[in-house]
A = this chain, B = another copy of it.
Amino acid sequence: MTYELYYWPGIQGRGEFVRLALEEAGADYVDVAREEGTAALMRLWEASDLQTPSFAPPFLRHGDQVIGQTANILLYLGDRHGLVPKSSAARSWTHQIQLTIADLVIEAHDVHHPLGGSFYYEDQRQEARRRSEAFRRERIPRFLGWFESILARNPKGDKFLVGARRLTTDLSLFQVVEGLRYAFPTTMKRAEAGCPRVVALRDRIAERPRIAAYLVSDRRLPFNEEGIFRYYPELEEA
């Protein structure tokens, strides 16, 4: 059964974490708003007879189910495509990591929107500069250090975050590294020296055949200044 992904058509955003899982799974999916326009997204989002309306995109339709919240979608896909462990303890730990990545994504967005989505970036540029400094100095090293320590402690080796197989969390961490590199190239150059396992994981994922094929396809949108990870020179180090 074909998956239908509903997400904004012009950005990687949170939808990208879902796309990477679908691509790695080799799943049959339609990126609805990219193929049929934003109106198709709005139609399902605002359907008054939908019993499980999402607060925000992305959401995934699969048969009768419409599922929202990125980490929740990944849990659903992961169970079906071997991208989440079967044992309940390992599954819970994987989901915990996924939720922490979701927290990081919110912070990465808030760097350029510290006053929230109600104001344009241009109207909160000064505030963004202050938040960005703290994010670069404290938060990026703290998050990357956490991922590094998880890899180091994994009893099955440091190739993947949980166990010995690539899971949704590994694909998502790849995306986080890519996003942070795009938004904060100078910061990342220094930060990556402290987390060699994270960098190696990023490379390992990039080389997986389906991911490699996806990254050079036109299905992979480029990063831009409408998404979560944005490059604003004034928010990067001097």
Contacts and interface: CB of A to CB of B under 8 A. Distances in A.
A134 interface: yes
A106 B99 CA distance: 13
Kindly name the residue among A96, A119, A127 whose own CB sees the greatest number of chain B CB atoms within 10 A. Answer: A96
A118 B134 CA distance: 6
Main secondary structure of the interface of A (DSSP, over half): helix
A195 to B, nearest CB: 15
Contacts of A110: 110, 114, 116
Contacts of A131: 114-116
Contact of A65 (B64, B72, B89, B118): B89
Contacts of A115: 114, 127, 130-131, 134
Contacts of A9: none
B68 A96 contact: yes
A107 interface: yes
Interface of A: 50-55, 64-65, 67-69, 71-72, 75-76, 89, 92-93, 95-96, 99-100, 102-103, 106-107, 110, 114-116, 118-119, 127, 130-131, 134-135, 137-139, 143, 146, 149-150, 153-155
